[in-house]
Structure 1
Amino acid sequence: MNAKIRRIEEKCNNCMRCVLDCASGVWKNIDGIPAMTGQDLCNRCSHCVAVCPKNAIENDFLKTAQVRRVKKKLIDPAVYKEIALSRRSIRHYKDKPVEPEILKDIIDVTRYSPTASNSQHVSYIVITDPNILKEISLLVFSTAVSFYKYSTTRSGQYVFKGLKLSAAIDAMLQKYIEPMAYYIELNETGRDLILHNAPVLVLLHGPSMSFFGADNCNIAAANMTNYAHCLGIGSCYIGFVTLLTRFNKKLCRLINLPKGRKVYASLVLGYPALKHPNTVSRKNPNISWIGGS
């Protein structure tokens, strides 16, 4: 068997960090020396290379050109805190496209987001065609309008009465369905209430039969929005697009969703038309401490 993972003996200081940090059982401590005993178990997480202080590991499964020393001086908790506190959901965008190189940069950074078992199954559909964006927005909004109109019929009211089984469902119906007449009026003025006239829609998708597809895609989406914010690009999660892909085949065809894949997160990107110079107010966190605070 050709060794795809190798320990460079003259560089290794036998610190055992590779053994401790490998979650797949590739490395083992044999007589005080780290030994590669199960390369077929490697999930390409790169941790053995990342944790080694002596650069004493070669791993042919990896793109080693991407591996470099971490720039520790650039890691600042105050900076990250300000990013988290200042990032807003943007619903008004400039009539200006986002440059392709910026979109590629955003996705390039996003791909480093963690995934369960390092599956790296997150994929991206990036839509910038104005006609397709308008069609998606119209499809989603018209579906909501149909839902609303049905809710005003006798049979619809009977069904909705049955749907109000919990406070959460009741709150959802009140929030989105009951004000629908106002939304329809607003839509008729030219306001895009779904994609907010944003120039870019990004859909993050993963395998349909995945235990952790939603986690993987939403972690990636969070990193995407935060990094985009650092570049001056606004974003907004569009949950209704994600929801509609569950049961609307026309929408799935519009976005060219591959077979066997499921959209777990959708968001728009663009240059903000409004700036937010101040932070916002939020409720105090609801925390249950187990074992002390």
Structure 2
Amino acid sequence: MDSGFTTRIQKEACIGCGLCTEVCPSRVLFLEAGKAEVLEADCLACGHCEAVCPENAIKAAGPTPWLRGFAGFEIPERPLPPGEFDAGNLVGLMLSRRSCRNFRDKEVGQEVLQDLAGVGVTAPSGTNSQALCFTVLSTRQAVVEWAEGIGNFFRRLNRLAGRPVLRLLLKALGRPELHNYYLNHYQSVQGALAEWEQKGVDRLFHGAPAVMIVSSSNNASCPAEDALLASQNILLAAHSLGLGTCLVGFAVAAMKKDPSLARMVGIPTDDTAYAVIALGYPSVKYLRFTSRKEPSLRFKA
């Protein structure tokens, strides 16, 4: 897809060192008469050339260039070279973040939500498409209204799944999805709907005061991967900013089956949502790390 990015070389500043040609993944940079040139039509505008240039002679800019637009924290002036960040602290952050299902009754400020979206776009994207969008439900009321729409979807689904003849007929026709849903989720969803209706207990977003939906244009080369990489960045940044997060897979699944739920929150038809993140200030504090499964590894020499 056309990202709208451009790459410009300031010839008077270029010293012809050739570093930009070495790091260019698309091989569209070359030296001519001792100066760097670019075949811009085939350029990914990944920015490697700008980042490596010792003379700051290259600018890779998008239609709306943005960097360092963070309100709640500062970032270093220069990138950290490999090996210059403590791996133990990084893994400690990853292990410390847990799915939060206990939120305080406290709104998340708009600047914090904007910062999290900014963190999201620092993630890599296929062919540097940067085609992500972050839809934010910034009030508890907005979250509840969307939860009602999702709840209605699951009410309809449970009514269908509660019909054994229909389930078995579809399974016999090679469509076992409804039968599998009945086996794996019907009872828990039925219980969650009853708790919501009778007691106001939110088993979907767990009382979160905000929700962020990460979507990507369907024209992107790797939309699902881009959105999920961005989501992981957001989860870790949210923890460092004092927030709890929880990925809500049921909301993503509901949008896949019922596109009107995406339209309900303003996601256009040419975007697909890949992650829904409940956000808020946690009301519980965890005191220790817990174990994970040992990694499954395959080596081939």
Please give the TM-score of this superposition, normalised by the length of structure 2: 0.82
* Residues 160, 148 of structure 1: alpha-carbon distance in 2 compared, 3 angstrom cutoff: farther
- In the other structure, the counterpart of 2:71 is none
Q: Which amino acid aligns with 1:241?
A: A
Shift of 1:74: 7.0
* Residues 83, 268 of structure 1: alpha-carbon distance in 2 compared, 3 angstrom cutoff: same
Contact 1:132 1:254 survives alignment (8 Å):
no
Aligned partners of 2:217, 2:188: CA distance in 1, in Å?
35
- In the other structure, the counterpart of 1:46 is 47
- In the other structure, the counterpart of 2:185 is 176
Does 1:139 pair with 2:149? yes
Shift of 1:243: 1.6
Cα deviations across residues 144-178 of structure 1 (Å, max 9, x unaligned)? 23323432323244247549988x99876543224
- In the other structure, the counterpart of 1:250 is 260
Cα deviations across residues 171-192 of structure 1 (Å, max 9, x unaligned)? 7654322434443443332210
Does 1:25 pair with 2:27? yes
Contact 1:140 1:194 survives alignment (8 Å):
no
SS in 2 for 1:276: coil
Shift of 1:71: 4.7
Contact 1:163 1:169 survives alignment (8 Å):
no
* Residues 259, 105 of structure 1: alpha-carbon distance in 2 compared, 3 angstrom cutoff: same
Contact 2:11 2:36 survives alignment (8 Å):
no
* Residues 100, 285 of structure 1: alpha-carbon distance in 2 compared, 3 angstrom cutoff: same
Q: Which amino acid aligns with 1:270?
A: G
Matched length: 285
Contact 1:48 1:57 survives alignment (8 Å):
no
Q: Which amino acid aligns with 1:43?
A: L
* Residues 209, 170 of structure 1: alpha-carbon distance in 2 compared, 3 angstrom cutoff: farther
Aligned partners of 2:126, 2:232: CA distance in 1, in Å?
16
Does 1:69 pair with 2:81? no
Does 1:277 pair with 2:287? yes
Aligned partners of 1:223, 1:276: CA distance in 2, in Å?
21
Q: Which runs of 5+ in 1 are unaligned?
A: none
Q: Which amino acid aligns with 2:44?
A: N
Identity %, equivalent residues: 23
- In the other structure, the counterpart of 2:110 is 100
Q: Which amino acid aligns with 2:15?
A: C
Aligned partners of 1:250, 1:10: CA distance in 2, in Å?
53
SS in 2 for 1:69: coil
Aligned partners of 1:64, 1:161: CA distance in 2, in Å?
51
Please give the TM-score of this superposition, normalised by the length of structure 1: 0.84
Deviates more, 1:85-94 or 1:67-76: 67-76
Cα deviations across residues 11-40 of structure 1 (Å, max 9, x unaligned)? 6372x3211111122212558x56314133
Q: State which of 125, 131, 138 in structure 2 corresponds to 1:115.
A: 125
Q: Which runs of 5+ in 2 are unaligned?
A: 1-5, 69-75
SS in 1 for 2:257: coil
SS in 1 for 2:90: helix
* Residues 128, 10 of structure 1: alpha-carbon distance in 2 compared, 3 angstrom cutoff: closer
- In the other structure, the counterpart of 2:211 is 201
* Residues 60, 238 of structure 1: alpha-carbon distance in 2 compared, 3 angstrom cutoff: closer
SS in 1 for 2:293: coil
Cα deviations across residues 101-126 of structure 1 (Å, max 9, x unaligned)? 11111112221111001101001111
- In the other structure, the counterpart of 2:59 is 59
- In the other structure, the counterpart of 1:85 is 95
Deviates more, 1:99-108 or 1:168-177: 168-177
Contact 1:164 1:170 survives alignment (8 Å):
no
- In the other structure, the counterpart of 2:222 is 212
Contact 2:127 2:221 survives alignment (8 Å):
no
